Amino acid sequence: MRKTINTACPRNCYSSCSFKVEVEKSQIISIENQPLNKATSEGPCLKGLSYIERVRSGNRILYPQLKLKGEFVRISWDEALTIISNRLTEFKTRFGSHSILFYAASGMSGLLNNVSYNFWRLFGGVTTTYGNLCWPAGLEATRLTLGDNRHNSPWDIENAGLIVLWGKNPAESNIHQSVFIEAAQRKGAKLVVIDPRRTPSSERADLFLQPIPGTDAILALAVAKLIIESNDHSIDFINSYVIGFEKFYELLDNVNIHEASIECGVPVSFISELADLMGSVTPMTIVPGYGMQRYSNGGQTIRCLLALSVITGNIGREGACWHYANLQSYIFDLKKEPESYYPVQDADNPFRRSIPTATLGKSMQAVKSPKLKMAWVERGNPVAQNPDTNETIRAFRKLEFVVVVEQFMTDTALEADLILPAKSMFEQSDIIGSYWNPYIQLKQKVIDPPGEVKPETEIYYLLANKLRFSQEDIDSYIPFPDDKSTDDWLANYLKDHDGLSLEVLKEGPVMAPGIQHVAFSDMNFNTPSGKIELFSVEAEKMWGVNPLPTYEKVLEGHGNRQNDYPLCLLSPVTKNRIHSQFGNLDCIKMLDNEQFVAISSMDASERGIENNDDVRVFNDRGEVKTKARLDNSLRTGNVVIYNGYWNSEGGSPNLLSIDRETDMGHGTAFHDNMVEVELIR
Ligand SMILES: Nc1nc2c(c(=O)[nH]1)N[C@H]1C(S)=C(S)[C@@H](COP(=O)(O)OP(=O)(O)OC[C@H]3O[C@@H](n4cnc5c(=O)[nH]c(N)nc54)[C@H](O)[C@@H]3O)O[C@H]1N2
Ligand SMILES: Nc1nc2c(c(=O)[nH]1)N[C@H]1C(S)=C(S)[C@@H](COP(=O)(O)OP(=O)(O)OC[C@H]3O[C@@H](n4cnc5c(=O)[nH]c(N)nc54)[C@H](O)[C@@H]3O)O[C@H]1N2
Ligand SMILES: [Mo]
């Protein structure tokens, strides 16, 4: 008998699509769109459709496996849990529980991820990570300025007269947004794209600017100066809602348009055109991407861009929006990624020792008293996705015991001593929010796990029993491993929210209670002054940056070379992968099979490189051997390797990236990254 079940995609992706799954004989046979979600009504992308292959892939890890003499061998769950509980007890007794690292990242979202923390707290606390690989510099820049991370509902872009995709490529990273942008364009909106490389998103632009990576702040300050000098700023808005405008204007005295043009590599005429558009076309929505804030100056850069929305009064109205992150559906305080954002200060907290995600490999090796002996990794692929892969591998290899909970044999799973099979999204219900659309969604269970796969909550339940945690603790903090108990656990989160229940969510997505479709329409800003803060005392106090939005040179990049490498490596996301996921599927390989480094013909010919040649991309940190693809849509001086590739596919660009924090928010400055490319003869 066929059944249709509503569910939602829990990947770390803007769209967080709703979709319907048809199931027959415990097999998923089709994935269809769910029109009730106004943001994703067209249905999922190719990756979403590829789940049919992904869940039943022959490459899935289906059983616990132990590494013996370098080979993984199948063991029973009871053996696996006995080995793990023995090692946990041993390390805790000999060195203290903080000799164990718990590392989780963004592979799967959902409220049940909190159970992991419950388990490790009951265990007595372990070392964890703080900060985040993804978006925190921009989150913090926005919070300092507007008080909160909220934006207008996705479909509001249709109301914009001017849309600026600033370092964002939604045609690949947020395809559902492209639908609204196209609708706006049909109504006459102008589209500006600002990106060092031409992308599918820039193909539709009216104006396309290609700055030198990491220099957007000076471009934005130059635009601000021209807007104010032409008297195109919004004086009433500024007088009513903004503090620090005078000081900001004084700062712009130091900005010379011609020098700015040279610094960012954008001709003066283009800077003027952008200023004219921003000064005259309203309402304007700026959509800053997350890639652009993964630089050492990322937070200050985002503050400079946001200043343009502020001085033109493009906040709090239809079509007028700073479209960075919309956390309005995060009503259960669930974060996009599970790590806490800031180091734990409180000595009594079981997680009192945490290390920065941005410097994971180095910090794992550096911590003392106690040294790390063991790691538990789930929902993450740090060997491929965290910066400085070689350092990360060294850190894992120094440990005595590594457990990885995974669906597939990733680069990190290969470093494990013991692998536990991980569930897929279809094998356990959970509740998710979105950082782009305003819905709360039930990611419904649609099939039983294959093989001996168990959801993490069940693994923790069994392990808690092995370790003889008290029955009372187990009952309070870890759901009993069956569907009914999991549902009850989830229902408990919903009970205090009017209009939300499992029954309602089973029918499809539900708008988060209290949603503001036009963010900040009440002009309430949760900043210390209650106004929009161009001048932020908190920015200086917390992060030691200038209280005003300023241009700071990147620590490693063009014009500020810490080493002798001449090319800047960009490692953006690509259409058919979510970071390190999906690339191993046949249906994805058909379209996107071979890794390459994109290089402009000028840079290639200087190095005697022709299209499709084998090349080595390298710096002091490592190398990636891959194929060259000549690409003249790329700004000369830059090369591109998409992120998410496994070692077996050529290697992660993080073999080349440095482990450095961003200027604020404890983010990761992957993109301060200079390299050289040479022909392999
Ligand atoms: N060079 C460079 N590096 C980058 C970036 C970049 O721009 N450039 N971007 C960064 C960004 S923005 C991000 S968000 C990170 C993403 O990096 P990660 O957070 O590590 O995310 P993924 O690679 O998507 O997924 C990690 C793993 O989770 C597994 N997984 C999926 N579902 C489950 C589950 O239910 N349980 C368990 N146990 N595992 C599961 C998947 O199989 C996958 O191997 O990468 C960062 N790395
Ligand atoms: N298909 C797909 N979609 C995804 C993901 C995925 O892996 N695959 N990952 C999701 C996640 S976790 C994230 S964080 C987002 C990331 O998606 P986006 O926010 O779109 O970020 P990126 O792809 O990292 O970078 C976007 C663009 O910024 C450009 N860029 C790089 N440096 C600079 C700069 O200095 N200045 C300017 N102006 N532009 C620059 C890059 O060339 C790139 O085209 O996508 C989400 N959606
Ligand atoms: Mo991300």
CATH of the domain at 249: 3.40.228.10
- 412 within ligand 1 shell (Cβ under 6 A): no
Question: Are 400 and 422 part of one and the same domain?
Answer: yes
The pLDDT, as a whole number, for residue 282 is 96
Average pLDDT over residues 584-594: 90
The pLDDT, as a whole number, for residue 242 is 98
**What tokens were used for 122?**
């009951």
The pLDDT, as a whole number, for residue 67 is 98
Q: Are 183 and 208 in contact (CB under 8 A)?
A: no
The pLDDT, as a whole number, for residue 293 is 98
End residue of a domain, out of 56, 77, 92: 56
- At residue 192, does pLDDT exceed 60? yes
CATH of the domain at 593: 2.40.40.20
Ligand showing the shortest atom-to-Cα distance for residue 568: 2
Question: Are 253 and 323 part of one and the same domain?
Answer: yes
How far, in Å, CA of 19 to CA of 297, rounded? 38
Q: How confident is the model at residue 546 (pLDDT cuts 50, 70, 90)?
A: very high
The pLDDT, as a whole number, for residue 446 is 96
DSSP state of 522: T
pLDDT in tens, 58-83: 999 999 999 999 999 999 999 999 99
How far, in Å, CA of 357 to CA of 339, rounded? 9
How far, in Å, CA of 439 to CA of 423, rounded? 24
pLDDT in tens, 385-425: 999 999 999 999 999 999 999 999 999 999 999 999 999 99
Determine the atom of ligand 1 nearest the C-alpha atom of 580.
23
Average pLDDT over residues 238-249: 98
Question: Are 528 and 622 part of one and the same domain?
Answer: no
Return the percent helix, strand and coil in the chain, to nearest 5: 35, 20, 45
Of 36, 42, 38, 49, the residue nearest 9 (C-alpha): 49
Q: Are 387 and 658 in contact (CB under 8 A)?
A: yes
Q: How confident is the model at residue 548 (pLDDT cuts 50, 70, 90)?
A: very high
User: Atom 22 of ligand 2 has which residue's CA nearest to it?
Assistant: 291
The letter for the amino acid at 381 is N
Mapping DSSP to helix (H, G, I), strand (E, B) and coil, where does residue 376 land?
Answer: strand
Question: What's the CA-to-centroid distance between 354 and ligand 1, angstroms?
Answer: 20
Helix (H) or strand (E) holding 604: helix 601-606
The pLDDT, as a whole number, for residue 334 is 61
The C-alpha angle 20, 135, 43, rounded to 5 degrees, equals 15
Q: How confident is the model at residue 489 (pLDDT cuts 50, 70, 90)?
A: very high
Question: What's the CA-to-centroid distance between 580 and ligand 1, angstroms?
Answer: 6
Ligand showing the shortest atom-to-Cα distance for residue 104: 1
Average pLDDT over residues 602-624: 98
Is beta strand 374-378 parallel, antiparallel or unpaired with respect to 100-104?
parallel
Residue with tokens 């390459």: 596
Determine the atom of ligand 2 nearest the C-alpha atom of 212.
35
Q: How far, in Å, are 286, 290, 527, 619 from residue 652 at the CA level?
A: 31, 19, 39, 14
The pLDDT, as a whole number, for residue 335 is 61
- At residue 338, does pLDDT exceed 60? no
Question: What's the CA-to-centroid distance between 452 and ligand 2, angstroms?
Answer: 36
The pLDDT, as a whole number, for residue 1 is 85
- 413 within ligand 1 shell (Cβ under 6 A): no
Of 633, 639, 562, the residue nearest 606 (C-alpha): 639
Ligand showing the shortest atom-to-Cα distance for residue 212: 2
The pLDDT, as a whole number, for residue 134 is 96
Bridge partners (DSSP) of residue 6 are: 20
Of 231, 53, 9, the residue nearest 588 (C-alpha): 53
User: Atom 40 of ligand 1 has which residue's CA nearest to it?
Assistant: 379
| CA gyration radius, the chain | 25
**What tokens were used for 1?**
């008998």
> Which mutation among 292, 305, 556, 600 tests ligand 2's pocket best, with the greatest number of atoms within 8 A of CB?
292
Determine the atom of ligand 2 nearest the C-alpha atom of 47.
1
Tally the domains of the chain. Answer: 4
* Residue list, ligand 2 pocket, CB within 6 Å: 12-14, 134-135, 166-169, 172-174, 194-197, 199, 211, 213-214, 216, 289-292, 570, 572-573, 575, 577-579, 671
The pLDDT, as a whole number, for residue 336 is 61
Q: How confident is the model at residue 39 (pLDDT cuts 50, 70, 90)?
A: very high
Q: Are 305 and 166 in contact (CB under 8 A)?
A: yes
- At residue 562, does pLDDT exceed 90? no
Average pLDDT over residues 614-622: 97
Question: Are 469 and 504 part of one and the same domain?
Answer: yes
Q: How far, in Å, are 13, 56, 573 from residue 577 at the CA level?
A: 10, 18, 8
pLDDT, the chain, mean: 96
How far, in Å, CA of 336 to CA of 578, rounded? 15
Residue with tokens 């953006």: 572
> Which mutation among 106, 377, 409 tests ligand 1's pocket best, with the greatest number of atoms within 8 A of CB?
106
Determine the atom of ligand 2 nearest the C-alpha atom of 106.
12
Q: Tell me if 352 is assigned to some domain.
A: yes
User: Atom 45 of ligand 2 has which residue's CA nearest to it?
Assistant: 173
**What tokens were used for 662?**
């961003």
| CB crowding 521-555: b at 16 or more within 10 Å, else e | eeeebebeeebbbbbbeebeeebebbbbbbbbbbb
Question: Are 485 and 601 part of one and the same domain?
Answer: no
Q: How confident is the model at residue 342 (pLDDT cuts 50, 70, 90)?
A: confident
Question: Are 40 and 103 part of one and the same domain?
Answer: no
pLDDT in tens, 311-337: 999 999 999 999 999 999 999 976 666
- 173 within ligand 1 shell (Cβ under 6 A): no
pLDDT in tens, 96-132: 999 999 999 999 999 999 999 999 999 999 999 999 9
Question: What's the CA-to-centroid distance between 338 and ligand 3, angstroms?
Answer: 13
In a 10 Å sphere around its CB, with 0-12 CB exposed, 13-18 middle and 19+ buried, how is residue 269 labelled? Answer: exposed
- At residue 498, does pLDDT exceed 60? yes
How far, in Å, CA of 651 to CA of 358, rounded? 19
Q: How confident is the model at residue 661 (pLDDT cuts 50, 70, 90)?
A: very high
Q: Tell me if 405 is assigned to some domain.
A: yes
How far, in Å, CA of 218 to CA of 235, rounded? 23
Q: Tell me if 548 is assigned to some domain.
A: no
Q: Tell me if 141 is assigned to some domain.
A: yes
How far, in Å, CA of 79 to CA of 64, rounded? 9
Q: Tell me if 248 is assigned to some domain.
A: yes
Is beta strand 510-511 parallel, antiparallel or unpaired with respect to 567-570?
unpaired
Question: What's the CA-to-centroid distance between 174 and ligand 2, angstroms?
Answer: 9
CATH of the domain at 382: 3.40.50.740
Q: What are phi and psi of 191, to 5 degrees?
A: -120, 125
Q: Tell me if 659 is assigned to some domain.
A: yes
The pLDDT, as a whole number, for residue 41 is 97
- 381 within ligand 1 shell (Cβ under 6 A): yes
Q: How confident is the model at residue 610 (pLDDT cuts 50, 70, 90)?
A: very high
pLDDT in tens, 268-300: 999 999 999 999 999 999 999 999 999 999 999
- 392 within ligand 1 shell (Cβ under 6 A): no
Q: Are 402 and 103 in contact (CB under 8 A)?
A: no
Ligand showing the shortest atom-to-Cα distance for residue 421: 1
User: Atom 17 of ligand 2 has which residue's CA nearest to it?
Assistant: 173
Question: What's the CA-to-centroid distance between 167 and ligand 2, angstroms?
Answer: 7
Q: Tell me if 553 is assigned to some domain.
A: no
The pLDDT, as a whole number, for residue 343 is 84
CATH of the domain at 8: 2.20.25.90
Determine the atom of ligand 1 nearest the C-alpha atom of 424.
35
User: Atom 41 of ligand 1 has which residue's CA nearest to it?
Assistant: 107
Q: Tell me if 558 is assigned to some domain.
A: no
Question: Are 378 and 477 part of one and the same domain?
Answer: yes
Q: How confident is the model at residue 572 (pLDDT cuts 50, 70, 90)?
A: very high
Of 605, 619, 573, the residue nearest 679 (C-alpha): 605
> Which mutation among 573, 579, 641 tests ligand 2's pocket best, with the greatest number of atoms within 8 A of CB?
573
| CB crowding 651-681: b at 16 or more within 10 Å, else e | bbbbbbbbbbbbbbbbbbbbbbbbbbbeeee
Is beta strand 614-619 parallel, antiparallel or unpaired with respect to 622-630?
antiparallel
Mapping DSSP to helix (H, G, I), strand (E, B) and coil, where does residue 73 land?
Answer: strand
Q: Which residues contact 100 (CB under 8 A, 6 or more apart)?
A: 88, 91, 92, 126, 127, 372, 373, 374, 375, 376
Question: Are 232 and 98 part of one and the same domain?
Answer: no
Question: What's the CA-to-centroid distance between 422 and ligand 1, angstroms?
Answer: 14
**Domain range for residue 608?**
567-679
The pLDDT, as a whole number, for residue 333 is 74
**What tokens were used for 608?**
């005697």
Ligand showing the shortest atom-to-Cα distance for residue 13: 2
Question: Are 140 and 43 part of one and the same domain?
Answer: no
User: Atom 42 of ligand 1 has which residue's CA nearest to it?
Assistant: 407
Ramachandran region, residue 517 (left: φ > 0; alpha: ψ -120 to 50; beta: rest): alpha
Question: What's the CA-to-centroid distance between 296 and ligand 3, angstroms?
Answer: 16
Question: What's the CA-to-centroid distance between 143 and ligand 1, angstroms?
Answer: 25
Question: Are 382 and 530 part of one and the same domain?
Answer: no
User: Atom 37 of ligand 1 has which residue's CA nearest to it?
Assistant: 379
Percent of the chain with pLDDT over 70: 99
- At residue 578, does pLDDT exceed 80? yes
Question: Are 275 and 320 part of one and the same domain?
Answer: yes
Question: Are 526 and 586 part of one and the same domain?
Answer: no
Ligand showing the shortest atom-to-Cα distance for residue 200: 2
The pLDDT, as a whole number, for residue 340 is 74
User: Atom 35 of ligand 2 has which residue's CA nearest to it?
Assistant: 213
pTM of the model: 0.97
Residue with tokens 């790390």: 372
Of 337, 335, 331, 339, the residue nearest 438 (C-alpha): 331
Residue with tokens 């769209």: 15
